[in-house]
Structure 1
Amino acid sequence: MAAFVKAINAKIRAHPVLNYVCSTHFWGPVSNFGIPVAAVMDTQKSPELISGPMTFALCVYSATFMRYALAVTPKNYLLFLCHFVNEGAQLTQGYRYLQWTQWGGREKAALAGAVTDFKEKAAQVEDKGKEMVGKK
């Protein structure tokens, strides 16, 4: 059995594409791609859910590993791509966080909510007025 496994391993390692697919240079970034996928999906959620410190930490993390992906031999372009996508998503989230907390986004949302409430109440008053006019 050991000879059979050794023969299969030799066959896999002899083929460059199979050798790459069976390596940590491939499976590490593939398994890591969950982080940028989640980050990109989070850009559609409310900015009040964003954690500023965590976003900053993930920006530093991705920048560090983008550098690492190009520093190792051989260069791991798949890992670089994974962290490049994550860096872009985290920078987007960081901008949304700053816009929400520092640049008046929260106040604008509250004002928009108040205007919507006012419009709804005005429509209710208008409907009641029409009912009263219709009853006479």
Structure 2
Amino acid sequence: MHSDPRFENQPGLPHLPHELVVETLERVLHDRSQENEAARVLVGTALNDDDREFVERCCMQIGTRAVSGSPLLGLAGLCLGHTARRFGHLSDGALALVESLAARAEADPSDVDGRALDGFDDARSFLHLWDSEAP
């Protein structure tokens, strides 16, 4: 399932200074009570920040360091899908992560939620990857 490929500034999801984004994401890795705020910041960054490399770094930080079962893992995969859609490109590391998160979600939804599958689907569709493997 794909959402609208047009990206506009979403209400409640502002473009934030990079320092604040980094601080918020680092804080949630040590304090899970901050997950709602971190989710808002991660989605806002993925949808509104014009620096693809920064967006990827944020998603990769969360997608590689959040604990199993954190809703931020699936969200990191979804946000990488948004990034692929917005920029038409993901680095090799980001591609590997979105694929890995999707595989984890498929294997155990209590580890990584299904939003990672949506992110992987977006990456496949918008980057025209893995076309030979598609059904």
Same fold (TM > 0.5): no
Larger radius of gyration: 1
TM-score range, shorter chain: 0.3 to 0.5
Please report the TM-score for the alignment, with normalisation by the length of structure 1: 0.34
User: More helix by proportion, 1 or 2?
Assistant: 1
